[in-house]
Amino acid sequence: MNRLLRTNAFRLAALYLLLFVASVLALLAFIYFSTAGFIERQTEATIDAEITGLREEYGERGLSGLLDIIHTRSTAPAPHGDSTLYLVTDPALQPLAGNLSAWPRAEQIRPGWIRFPVEVRTRQGTVTSSAIASVFVLHDGFRLLVGRDLRDAEAFRSRITRTLAWAALLTVALGVGGGLFMTRHMLSRVEAVNRTSERIIRGDLSQRVPLSGSGDEFDQLAANLNAMLDQIERLMLGMRQVTDNIAHDLRTPLSRLRARLEVTLLERPDAQRYADALRETIAEADHLLGTFNALLSIAEAEAGSRRETMAVVDLAEIARSVAELYEPVADDKGLSLTVESDALIAVHGDRHLLSQAIANLLDNALKYTPAGKVALRAHRQGGTARIEVADSGPGVPADRREAVFDRFVRLEGSRSTPGNGLGLSLVRAVARLHGGDAWLEDNEPGLKAMFTLPVADSRIVPATRNAA
């Protein structure tokens, strides 16, 4: 309960209840004043009418006529138990006619109107109640009082008050009960999220927030949290795979490097052999560093931290420039390297990463194509820019075309060729960083490697290359 008081939901419910009760009370007060007031006004109107009638009588028949009629009215049995009070006195306030025994000691409520206590004889005995009356001074100081006993009005008023009090009590009770119920209900949903979070913090990432199935905003929140957890779990799994791969692929050359140094030390000291061993070790270390740098580039592209430095660049120009770098390599190998590209393909991207991705594709094609041709194509198709490197080499079997994009995956036949198995991983990471993708296709014969990315707004002209 203590915990309940501290929650936001409870505070909200309490505030809402307060507002609710206040408005209900205002409504009840309005009802009270309009009904009770109505009765009072009606009483006064009756008295007014009576006085008007009596004054007319007085005007026509004089004091004796008035005394007559008052005598008649005050002795006649009152209809409906209504008791109208009459009194006529001389200037010394001595009663002349009427059903009041004496001029009352009264308080004035407003000019011409007084309120006073009366004792009324009923079947049950004498009861004290209050009455209001209008007072009128006649000629020569004679006074006329016409009033009404307020017994009925007060009974009605107290009945209204009781009814309204019960209504208010019922409203508050319902409000408190409903508020508590709603708060509890909301709290239980939040609690479910909290319990799941706590279990995840303790290390069980497979936990998910339960859904009620109603599709309300709590369900949406839970679904979003679950989707986020799924993504995190996927990333963690990917990371674990990478760690395993790194452990394997860096451990192998590192242990080879260590073994070489150890063996060199065991053998008979020889300056020439020491120098050779050191040179080989340096080469091996360089290769390791290369692998490490490639891994970092991929991680960087995947993390998306390079997005801030992206600008509008000409992908066609980048492709031609990379082809120019590799052209002599193809030539030396006796391969024909052709470049087909649109005049200008504006994309929003990172020049260095795009260059490296294209270089990796060309490098692969040139490395694995023993003879024939390699073609680099850069084209724009609608809103998509597409880089394609097609070769006439041995190709990649259809069932391995996805796997080679994973880190450190190399085809069996290619183990002898230099390389670290990270080239295509980087290509895909770069393509995805730019909002595209990379994949392999059959070139019949050979392999077609490609990646796509969305083109930039054509109104923006890419900055020209500022290299030396």
Partner 1 sequence: MKLLVIEDDREAAAYIAKGLSESGYVVDHAAEGRNGLFMASSGNYDALIVDRMLPGMDGLALIAALRAAEVRTPVLILSALGAVDDRVKGLRAGGDDYLVKPFAFRELLARIEALLRRGSGNTQTTRLKTGDLEMDLLTRGVTRAGQEIELLPREFRLLEFLMRHAGQVVTRTMLLENVWDYHFDPQTNVIDVHVSRLRQKIDKGFTKPLLHTVRGAGYCLRAD
Q: Which stretch binds partner 1 (CB under 8 A): 228-236, 238-246, 260-268, 296-304?
A: 296-304
Does residue 286 touch partner 1 according to CB under 8 A? Answer: yes
Q: Which stretch binds partner 1 (CB under 8 A): 85-93, 196-204, 256-264, 322-330?
A: 322-330
Among 55, 184, 260, 306, binds partner 1 (CB under 8 A): 306
Kindly give the interhelix angle for 151-201 and 8-75, rounded to the nearest 10 degrees: 170
Among 44, 300, 406, 441, binds partner 1 (CB under 8 A): 300
C-alpha separations of 330 from 250, 254, 337, 392, 448 in Å: 31, 33, 6, 13, 17
Q: What track of x and - describes contact with partner 1 for positions 429 through 468 (by CB under 8 A)?
A: ------------------------------------x-xx
Among 60, 217, 262, 332, binds partner 1 (CB under 8 A): 332
Cβ closer to partner 1: 166 or 292?
Answer: 292
Among 419, 432, 441, 454, binds partner 1 (CB under 8 A): 419
Cβ closer to partner 1: 230 or 324?
Answer: 324
Residues 336-395 that bind partner 1 (CB under 8 A): 350, 352, 355-356, 359, 363, 366-367
Does residue 86 touch partner 1 according to CB under 8 A? Answer: no
Q: Which stretch binds partner 1 (CB under 8 A): 55-63, 116-124, 225-233, 321-329?
A: 321-329
Supply the minimum distance, in Å, between the C-beta of residue 244 and partner 1.
24
Supply the minimum distance, in Å, between the C-beta of residue 217 and partner 1.
41
Supply the minimum distance, in Å, between the C-beta of residue 387 and partner 1.
16
Does residue 326 touch partner 1 according to CB under 8 A? Answer: yes
Does residue 301 touch partner 1 according to CB under 8 A? Answer: no
Q: Which stretch binds partner 1 (CB under 8 A): 77-85, 165-173, 206-214, 294-302?
A: 294-302
Supply the minimum distance, in Å, between the C-beta of residue 352 and partner 1.
5
Does residue 178 touch partner 1 according to CB under 8 A? Answer: no
Q: Count interface residues toward partner 1 (CB under 8 A).
A: 35
**HEC letters along the chain:** CHHHHHCHHHHHHHHHHHHHHHHHHHHHHHHHHHHHHHHHHHHHHHHHHHHHHHHHHHHHHHHHHHHHHHHHHHHCCCHHHCCEEEEEECCCCCEEEECCCCCCCCEEEECCEEEEEEEEEECCEEEEEEEEEEEEECHHHCEEEEEEECHHHHHHHHHHHHHHHHHHHHHHHHHHHHHHHHHHHHHHHHHHHHHHHHHHHCCCCCCCCCCCCCCCHHHHHHHHHHHHHHHHHHHHHHHHHHHHHHHHHHHHHHHHHHHHHHHHHHCCCCHHHHHHHHHHHHHHHHHHHHHHHHHHHHHHHHHCHHHHHCEEEEHHHHHHHHHHHHHHHHHHHCCEEEEEECCCCEEEECHHHHHHHHHHHHHHHHHHCCCCEEEEEEEEECCEEEEEEEECCCCCCHHHCCHHHCCCCCCHHHCCCCCCCCHHHHHHHHHHHCCCEEEEEECCCCEEEEEEEEECCCCCCCCCCCCC
Largest CA-CA distance found in the chain, in angstroms, rounded? 158
Cβ closer to partner 1: 301 or 347?
Answer: 301
Does residue 199 touch partner 1 according to CB under 8 A? Answer: no
Residues 2-31 that bind partner 1 (CB under 8 A): none
Does residue 276 touch partner 1 according to CB under 8 A? Answer: no
Cβ closer to partner 1: 116 or 405?
Answer: 405
Cβ closer to partner 1: 208 or 367?
Answer: 367
Q: Which residues bind partner 1 (CB under 8 A)?
A: 279, 282, 286, 289-290, 293, 296-297, 300, 305-306, 308-309, 321, 324-326, 328-329, 332, 350, 352, 355-356, 359, 363, 366-367, 418-420, 423, 465, 467-468
